[in-house]
Structure 1
Amino acid sequence: MADWSTTAAAVSNQLPSMHFIDGEWRRPLSGNLMETFDPGRAEPHAQFAAGTAEDIAEAVAAAKQAESGEWRKATPAERGRILMRAAELIRQNAERLATAEVLDSGKTLAEARGDVRGSARAFEYYAGAADKHEGKAYPLGPDYTSYSIEEPIGVTAHIVPWNYPLSTACRSIAPALAAGCTAVVKPAEQTPMTALLLAEILVQAGLPKGVCNVVTGTGIAAGAPLVSHPDVRHVTFTGSTVTGINVMKAAAQNIASVTLELGGKSPNIVLADADLELALDNVVGAIFENAGQICSAGSRLVIERSIHAEFMERLVKRARGLTIGHGLGEGVNFGAINSAEHLVKVASYVEGAKSRGVNVAAGGNAVVDPATGKGWFFEPTILDDVKWDDPVVQEEIFGPVLAVQIVDGLEEAIEAANCTDYALVAGLFTKDLSKAHRIARDVDAGQFFVNEYFAGGIETPFGGNRRSGIGREKGLLAVASYCKTKAVTIRI
């Protein structure tokens, strides 16, 4: 433990405690600081600025001024070169970023390193897209020339969640910058550090001052003033459905567009003809990665009755074999719950299920790091043969809790998959491609994975339907979200 504690202390002592506005570190105008906690120890590890509406106003003003400055005049190719340099600098700072992410979020170091790699890849991808987002020509006949121009939409707001602080920030900031927009970023108060480090990296990569600003603080004190600011033209929000509705209402007051990536209750369907070993690997990863704190987690297992008993026996063994501990600890592959408040929420769902007689096949309890006796942890939990209308099937728990639904055949599997108000992603394991195409057609989801959960990457559009959100991130569609189309028609 001593080795990782020393590393943690060294990184924490060098983390920023101020906002990043107009290319420089700025103290909060209120003078107040907040504590950020290490979930693996349930202890504060650093301080950061407590932002207010006044700080937000300064950041938006900086972004507004930068919008018409050298960033607006930069060619798309130059924007791309800056984003590519940012990708390289993220890679060069990978270990510092990953360690800071572990200390803020509670995830394992392996998971955080993967997030950093994905973040660098996001900037790399959109660097290549910066000079390839083209307008169109319209055929009005020989007497007219008509074409469209894709212009940057303006100042953009980015509300970043606590479960994937760096990678979620990068997947929205990078396309916004590729389009030529400016940005004000408000990271979650639980995980503020990597967004601040990223802003510094972007300036080092050559981004002009004011183009990307980061204001830290609570959602009420800093987030709400940001999404309702009249100079913000687009809001990208990732978080709960309830908060997303309020964000959409606030943006609507200024006729600002939104991208909302909200809750999920995603089904992972395993048919009787599936490769069970492959399915096991993916079902475990889909719900227990990042301790289940993933909007697109495979939090429901929809499984055919004929293989249920065998699959459950092997799945329970896998769940019990995961090693709980601090994310920097050696051999740990299951990290912490992000906060004490969220641990209470996860536990309350499981206690409620127990009180209703739901069969707890594995886990079911809040625990601590066995090496230190500290931290906010919840055991990998499997609730078996749950009724479809039970809250643990219908509502997003956002923790390491898998609800199992048993079905008899393909049609019932489709019905089970569609039985909630959410439609973010869905997974399927089968060797029958005809069944795969049919189920992909009939299950409502923004992304559908076959024989690999979390398949795809920055290239594939991501987002939800119904209560899971509006709009798409990732892919070239994301760049379009940060553009406004101008049609030009000339009589010749």
Structure 2
Amino acid sequence: MDFTKIFVGGDWRTGRGGLVDSINPADGRVVTRYGTAGVDDVKDAVAAGQRAVADPEWRAMLPHQRARILTRIGDAIEADVDTISVLQTADTGKSRAETRALALSAASTFRYFAAALETMDESLTSPRGRYLTLSLHEPIGVIGAITPWNSPIASDAQKIAPALAAGNAVVLKPAEWTSLVSLHLAGIIAAQGLPKGLLSVLPGPGRIIGEAIVRHPGVGKILFTGGTATGRRIAAAAAEKLMPVSLELGGKSPTIVLPDADIDQAIAGILFGIFSSSGQSCIAGSRLFVARSLYDAFVPRLVERTKALRVGPGTAPDTQVAPLVSTLHRDTVADFVERALADGATLLCGGGRPEGALYDNGAYYLPTILAGVTNDAAICREEVFGPVLVVMPFDDEADLIAQANDSVYGLAAGIWTQNFPRAYALARQLEVGTVWINTYKQFSISTPFGGWKDSGLGREKGRDGIRAHMQQKSVYVGLDPSPLPWA
């Protein structure tokens, strides 16, 4: 497709923001040039969305009819999974196995919300007088969606699908580093019979295009996944408009290994939880707490297994740790590690770029494990968003809970133990939105997801994911034929 065009209100056209290079992080080469939007494109996209939402073709379309469109979109994504996987690997550097899984996840998201829409009912509430009372839900209108670079097509689907299911229009701003797959997705969606104007895809810098979407008076809600600092600015702007927001923000997730854990199972889960996606995941298990009685035996085995992870380009079938999204981000991750070492951390493995011609021009960074710090160290407080794990011992359950919860973040946590009652009791005490027990980084579109504290507001996924994109309305129908007594 012609990536120099952007998708505005159902039409492909030249954006007002100029062209930008898409760089392959595996080798530093230019993949292609793609178009970006300007502020006037935002205005046009919102206006097109408002017209489309008001059009009876969409507004009066019955839920099962909208569900058919969503199902077709899901099927079309799955049919195109190989192209999407190749494109996203070139765009993000991720392994082909991961980008294929992300595409299939996006397909499942559209089909899930189609099914949820088919079976979604309104409520007949209990009356308190001689009247009939109903609780109904209506579309918000135009929804702005701002998605991150670490899993673009899956994040795009998790915002677009429920918003469309609820009867809204969507103006999507993908991340600057990974816009190609979002533009490709726009073409797939448009070909499945979605009425014109209901979707726009506007690549461009967040400080310009994202800001314009958030502050546009015609946008009724913002869906955002990204950094906490940006989330705060969006929330402040939304407060001025009295506009709802859904914010999925940063994390510094604790992973806990209790004395009775299955060590092999725990190590495999910990490695996947922090080093898959090259650590570029908001739910990455980046703080590891190991029972002190197990610590000396556990940590060397963990380090040995980490050193054996295969680092390489996403196109290599055996790659486990692919390059980071850009050399700029790689250097940021390296700076976190260097500062931690300067502050007294001990390097157990990694801590630099891999050697060899294969890696010279790519944004690679070795899987890294640090020790010798306490939970109040900067490396334990700040989100690195890279393949960096900090391991610390704990002495008892009270110590563990205090350390695990001592964070401004509260997105996710993992527990490894063979004692389910103890694991469940711990899960109830952890101040996070998601807890995995004897597994990690597993997701279901049917299960709500979101964070506590500085990790966000609102929830995505689940049957209630459609309702989150609607406004509730109460209707009273009088059944008493006599006039109201006051009058």
Measured against the shorter chain, the TM-score band is over 0.9
Residue 190 of structure 2: which of 178, 203, 211 is its match? Answer: 203
Q: Aligned pair 1:361/2:348, yes or no?
A: yes
Which residue of 2 is the match for residue 56 of structure 1? Answer: 42
**SS of alignment partner, residue 185 of structure 1:** strand
- Greater shift after overlay, 235-244 or 304-313? 304-313
Identity of aligned residues (%): 37
* Residue identity in the other structure for 2:363: W
The 5 A counterparts of 1:160-175 are 160-175=147-162
Residue 402 of structure 2: which of 395, 411, 415 is its match? Answer: 415
Contact 2:50–2:218, Cα closer than 8 Å, also in 1? yes
Q: Deviation per CA, 1:94-126: give whole Å up to 9, x if none.
A: 011111111111111111111111111101100
- Greater shift after overlay, 454-463 or 176-185? 454-463
**SS of alignment partner, residue 315 of structure 1:** helix
**SS of alignment partner, residue 334 of structure 1:** coil
* Residue identity in the other structure for 2:50: K
**SS of alignment partner, residue 475 of structure 1:** coil
The 5 A counterparts of 1:95-114 are 95-114=82-101
The 5 A counterparts of 1:140-219 are 140-141=127-128, 143-219=130-206
Alpha-carbon distance between aligned partners in 2 of 1:376 and 1:18, rounded to the nearest angstrom: 28
Contact 2:410–2:452, Cα closer than 8 Å, also in 1? yes
Residue 132 of structure 1: which of 95, 101, 119 is its match? Answer: 119
Which residue of 1 is the match for residue 483 of structure 2? Answer: none
The Cα of 1:221 is off from its aligned counterpart by 2.0
Contact 2:96–2:317, Cα closer than 8 Å, also in 1? no
The Cα of 1:249 is off from its aligned counterpart by 1.4
Which residue of 2 is the match for residue 67 of structure 1? Answer: 53
Q: RMSD across aligned C-alpha pairs, in angstroms?
A: 1.3
**SS of alignment partner, residue 342 of structure 1:** helix
Structure 2 gap ranges (5+): 480-487
**SS of alignment partner, residue 88 of structure 1:** helix
Alpha-carbon distance between aligned partners in 2 of 1:109 and 1:260, rounded to the nearest angstrom: 28
Residue 250 of structure 1: which of 237, 258, 261 is its match? Answer: 237
Report the CA distance shift for 1:423/1:139 in structure 2 as closer, same or farther (over 3 A): same
* Residue identity in the other structure for 1:132: T
The Cα of 1:309 is off from its aligned counterpart by 1.8
List, as ranges, runs of 4+ consecutive aligned residues in structure 1 with deviation greater than 3 Å: 367-370
Q: Aligned pair 1:470/2:453, yes or no?
A: no
**SS of alignment partner, residue 196 of structure 1:** helix
The Cα of 1:369 is off from its aligned counterpart by 6.6
Contact 2:344–2:373, Cα closer than 8 Å, also in 1? no
**SS of alignment partner, residue 134 of structure 2:** strand
The Cα of 1:322 is off from its aligned counterpart by 1.3
Alpha-carbon distance between aligned partners in 1 of 2:320 and 2:443, rounded to the nearest angstrom: 23
Contact 1:126–1:174, Cα closer than 8 Å, also in 2? yes
Alpha-carbon distance between aligned partners in 1 of 2:34 and 2:75, rounded to the nearest angstrom: 27
Which residue of 1 is the match for residue 270 of structure 2? Answer: 283
- Greater shift after overlay, 220-229 or 362-371? 362-371
Contact 1:134–1:149, Cα closer than 8 Å, also in 2? no
The Cα of 1:193 is off from its aligned counterpart by 1.0
Which residue of 2 is the match for residue 351 of structure 1? Answer: 338
* Residue identity in the other structure for 1:271: L
Residue 319 of structure 1: which of 265, 290, 306 is its match? Answer: 306
Alpha-carbon distance between aligned partners in 2 of 1:482 and 1:338, rounded to the nearest angstrom: 31
- Greater shift after overlay, 236-245 or 138-147? 138-147
Residue 24 of structure 2: which of 24, 35, 38 is its match? Answer: 38
Contact 1:176–1:183, Cα closer than 8 Å, also in 2? yes
* Residue identity in the other structure for 1:48: Y
* Residue identity in the other structure for 2:84: L
Q: Deviation per CA, 1:399-450: give whole Å up to 9, x if none.
A: 0000112101222221121111100011101111121111011110001111
Contact 1:385–1:406, Cα closer than 8 Å, also in 2? no
- Greater shift after overlay, 129-138 or 262-271? 129-138
Alpha-carbon distance between aligned partners in 1 of 2:156 and 2:162, rounded to the nearest angstrom: 11
Report the CA distance shift for 1:209/1:39 in structure 2 as closer, same or farther (over 3 A): same
**SS of alignment partner, residue 282 of structure 2:** coil
The Cα of 1:29 is off from its aligned counterpart by 2.8
Alpha-carbon distance between aligned partners in 2 of 1:289 and 1:281, rounded to the nearest angstrom: 11
The Cα of 1:46 is off from its aligned counterpart by 1.2
Contact 2:8–2:201, Cα closer than 8 Å, also in 1? yes
Which residue of 2 is the match for residue 239 of structure 1? Answer: 226
Q: Deviation per CA, 1:121-154: give whole Å up to 9, x if none.
A: 1011001011333222222246110001111111
Q: Deviation per CA, 1:324-362: give whole Å up to 9, x if none.
A: 111112422211111222112101110011112211111
* TM-score, normalised relative to structure 2: 0.96
Q: Aligned pair 1:401/2:427, yes or no?
A: no
Report the CA distance shift for 1:367/1:42 in structure 2 as closer, same or farther (over 3 A): farther
Which residue of 2 is the match for residue 447 of structure 1? Answer: 434
**SS of alignment partner, residue 176 of structure 2:** coil
Alpha-carbon distance between aligned partners in 1 of 2:153 and 2:181, rounded to the nearest angstrom: 6
Alpha-carbon distance between aligned partners in 2 of 1:256 and 1:478, rounded to the nearest angstrom: 17
Contact 2:37–2:203, Cα closer than 8 Å, also in 1? yes
Residue 273 of structure 1: which of 252, 255, 260 is its match? Answer: 260
- Greater shift after overlay, 271-280 or 336-345? 336-345
* Residue identity in the other structure for 2:397: L
The 5 A counterparts of 1:4-19 are 14=1, 16-19=3-6
Size of the aligned set, in residue pairs, is: 478
* TM-score, normalised relative to structure 1: 0.95
Alpha-carbon distance between aligned partners in 1 of 2:129 and 2:339, rounded to the nearest angstrom: 70
Alpha-carbon distance between aligned partners in 2 of 1:60 and 1:339, rounded to the nearest angstrom: 31
Alpha-carbon distance between aligned partners in 1 of 2:121 and 2:3, rounded to the nearest angstrom: 39
Q: Deviation per CA, 1:69-101: give whole Å up to 9, x if none.
A: 212121100111111111110011101111111
